[in-house]
Chain A
């Protein structure tokens, strides 16, 4: 007890009451440093947990921390399973003038908490094709819902058919309005997560006057910015990075999905037989056109074919110049670059630096345009994703580097909920 008594001398008036001077059972006779360590630990626990619970920034930080594991591991988090909200998955569908819309809704079953007395909503547009049963999408949706966010995954017949159309903007807006009416959801706390081609649709909808000022954020992950530039990259099979060309090859397995999406856009401007030749060349079970097929194509269609096939990399600019006005108009209409100045929500651009679907330079171009416009935005390049899915077997290095950037984005996205 000698140490304890000398400590009592140091602490002055508190000596009379201080527990350090009292006799304790053998099991409680901790060294003096142990007692102080326990006290410091308790103070740290109290301050940290109070900050995490009582401040909006703390609440967003804890949400992001709980979401980090399921996002990076692409599997359900046991911690989120225990402390998270109980959730329910429902499906809905509705029809717009141009399309059928399918919603997968993941929502907490409990009412919105007293503070902030509203829930955040996220609309996920998972790109072209039917991704509704994709394991990583379901995992992400469930994890977001368990953290108290109402999630609506939306797709349409047009998207399922590997096509992007500005007409689907109405489907996105209607989904937004449905989510805004969801019990407990605040319309000003709804954001979009556009994956791949879904990012373009999110941009089309974000400039609609009905939601333009209300949308909280746009996360565009692996999305394109300018369809004509992307076609140019396809034709060149190379990306212009910091003034130098670096080789780039679009995905071919199971088929050239982005090429097929561009082919759909181009084919819609061509007569049926020519459109079919282009579509068959790049679609699922692709049939390479023979010489007579190519001879039957008009000069603009042939130029578009060579751009998509990437078999004339040294004639890219000539082929771009040979595109018909209808093709140019269509590509322009499908480009978020045409709408960027009108988007008011905060934009988060995320891209896999070796993305084989959409060149990462698309997001760099979007980033540069938003910087020029002085619009609030963030741009992050990752190496832990393959297009929009988490890679498996990641080492510690990429996880540490990208993890910090991913956590920051998650934190900012979680702020409206907190």
Chain B
């Protein structure tokens, strides 16, 4: 059970990193938004997306069942990657 949970978390983490990669390509990451400079922006986006994917995945598993962890992880990490840098930039102003 623990191994299965760990594997599932790793799957969601991988999905989060994929979304982070797309967010960087789409210039929606923390660096592109000017919240953080240079490589720190990219790394922070990767961390933010991976973390939000794992949190979203577990939220989905608890709310709807384990099957829905992956779609929850995806949309939560996309929303986190797209909106959080934007919101932080607004706050910085």
A: residues with CB less than 8 A from B are 17-20, 22, 24, 28, 30, 34-35, 38-39, 41-43, 45-50, 52-53, 58-59, 62-63, 66, 82-86, 109-110, 113-115, 147-148
Given A46-B75, A50-B75: A19 in contact with B28 (beta carbons within 8 A): yes
Contact present for B64 and A113 (CB under 8 Å): yes
Question: Given A30-B25, A59-B64, A83–B70 Cβ distance below 8 Å?
Answer: yes
CB within 8 Å for A35 and B75 given contacts A24-B32, A53-B60, A53-B64: no
Main secondary structure of the interface of A (DSSP, over half): helix
- Given contacts A53-B68, A62-B68, A83-B8, whether A34 and B63 have CB atoms under 8 Å apart is no
Residue-wise interface mask of B (50-85) relative to A, using a CB-CB cutoff of 8 A (1 in contact, 0 not): 000000000011111111111110110011011000
Report the Cα distance A45→B72, complex, angstroms: 11
B26: chain A residues at CB < 8 Å are 35, 38-39, 41-42
- Cβ A45 vs Cβ B70 within 8 A: no
Closest to B69 in A: A83
Contact of A49 among B7, B71, B81 (CB under 8 A): B71
> Which of the listed residues B7, B22, B26 has the most CB atoms from chain A within 10 Å of its own CB?
B26
B64 → A minimal CB distance (Å):
5
Which residue of A has the minimal Cβ distance to B65?
Answer: A113
Q: In the complex, what's the smallest C-beta–C-beta distance from A291 to chain B, in angstroms?
A: 63
Are A82 and B11 in contact, CB atoms less than 8 angstroms apart? yes
Q: Is the CB of B67 within 8 A of A147?
A: yes
Residues of B within 8 A of A42 (CB): 19, 22-23, 26, 28, 78, 81-82
| Shortest Cβ gap from A220 to chain B (Å) | 27
Contact B8 A82 (CB under 8 A): yes
**Cβ–Cβ < 8 Å partners of B67 in chain A:** 59, 62-63, 66, 83-85, 147-148
| A113 x B63 contact (CB < 8 A) | yes
Does the CB pair B22–A41 fall under 8 Å? yes
Q: Does B91 contact A (CB under 8 A)?
A: no
**Chain B neighbourhood of A46, CB < 8 A:** 74-75, 78-79, 82
Q: How far is the CB of A37 from chain B (nearest CB, A)?
A: 8
Which residues of chain B are within 8 angstroms of A113 by Cβ–Cβ distance?
A: 61-65
Contact A83 B75 (CB under 8 A): no
Minimum C-beta distance from B61 to chain A (A): 8
Binding site for A on B (CB under 8 A): 1, 4, 7-8, 11, 19, 22-28, 32-34, 60-72, 74-75, 78-79, 81-82, 89
If A49-B71, A59-B68, A147-B67 touch, whether A20 touches B19 (CB-CB below 8 Å) is no
Alpha-carbon distance between A84 and B89 when the two chains are bound, in angstroms: 39
Chain A residue at minimum C-beta to C-beta distance from B7: A82
Contact A83 B28 (CB under 8 A): no
Q: List 10 A-B pairs, Cβ < 8 Å.
A: A19-B28, A19-B32, A22-B27, A49-B71, A50-B71, A82-B11, A84-B67, A86-B4, A115-B63, A148-B67
User: Most chain-B CB neighbours within 10 Å: which of A48, A50, A109?
Assistant: A50
**A17, A18, A47, A114 pick with most chain B CB within 10 angstroms:** A17
> For residue B34, which residues in chain A have a CB less than 8 angstroms away from its CB?
17, 22
Known: A28-B24, A42-B28. A114 touches B8 (CB 8 A): no
Q: Tell me whether B75 and A53 are in contact (CB under 8 A).
A: yes
**Which residues does chain B contribute within 8 Å of A53, judged by CB atoms?**
60, 64, 68, 71-72, 75
B70: chain A residues within 8 A (beta carbon): 49, 83
* Contact status A45-B11, CB under 8 Å: no
Task: Specify the chain B residue showing the minimal Cβ separation from A51.
Answer: B71
Distance (whole angstroms) from the CB of B88 to the closest CB of chain A? 12
Query: B53: shortest Cβ distance to chain A, in Å?
Result: 11
Measured CA separation A85–B8 after assembly (Å): 11
With a cutoff of 8 Å between Cβ atoms, the chain A residues found around residue B23 in the complex are 38, 42
